[in-house]
Amino acid sequence: MRYNEDVRLAYELNNSIMRIQPENEKLPVVITGRYRVSSQFQNNFIKGGYIGYSFFEMVENRYKSTATHTLIILAFMKILGINFDIPNENQMKRAIKEAASMPPYPNPGYVKCMQNYIVVRLSENMYEDE
């Protein structure tokens, strides 16, 4: 069930990104924050290491790194046939600053097209310890 919700969210993010991406361009995507998918079982999942976590939440808990988080989510999306370019370090740093002023998913404006990259903000808190 958690995997199915991850797949649903991946396609929803893809649709939102594609709506704002400039025509005939393929911009890198930076994903900030984390998203805990919900299910009928709520928190009744055994969690350990990576087991039981959503692809959209687990890496923030473990690494607290937007770069790692973005890479893992983009890799998961690529498995689903959703391909976005990986941002460089400069784009990553600028996206983190920009995301601080954006509303979190699913509010309007959670995806924003910058000059040469796209930033997505998944949650109110950017990191676990906020």
- Top pLDDT among 1 and 128 is at 1
Distance between CA atoms of 95 and 101, rounded to whole angstroms?
Answer: 10
In 3D space, the residue among 108, 118, 105 whose CA is nearest the CA of residue 74 turns out to be: 118
pLDDT (0 to 100) of residue 46: 55
d(CA 23, CA 127): 32
Confidence band, pLDDT 50/70/90 cuts, at residue 35? confident
User: Which residue is listed with tokens 């509010």?
Assistant: 107
Average pLDDT for 34-63:
60
User: Could you give the C-alpha distances from 58 to 5, 37, 65, in angstroms and in order?
Assistant: 14, 11, 11
Rounded mean pLDDT of the chain? Answer: 83
Crossing angle for the helix pair 66-79 and 89-99, nearest 10 degrees? 100
12, 49, 65 from 19: Cα distances, Å: 11, 35, 27
Does the pLDDT of residue 47 top 60, yes or no?
Answer: no
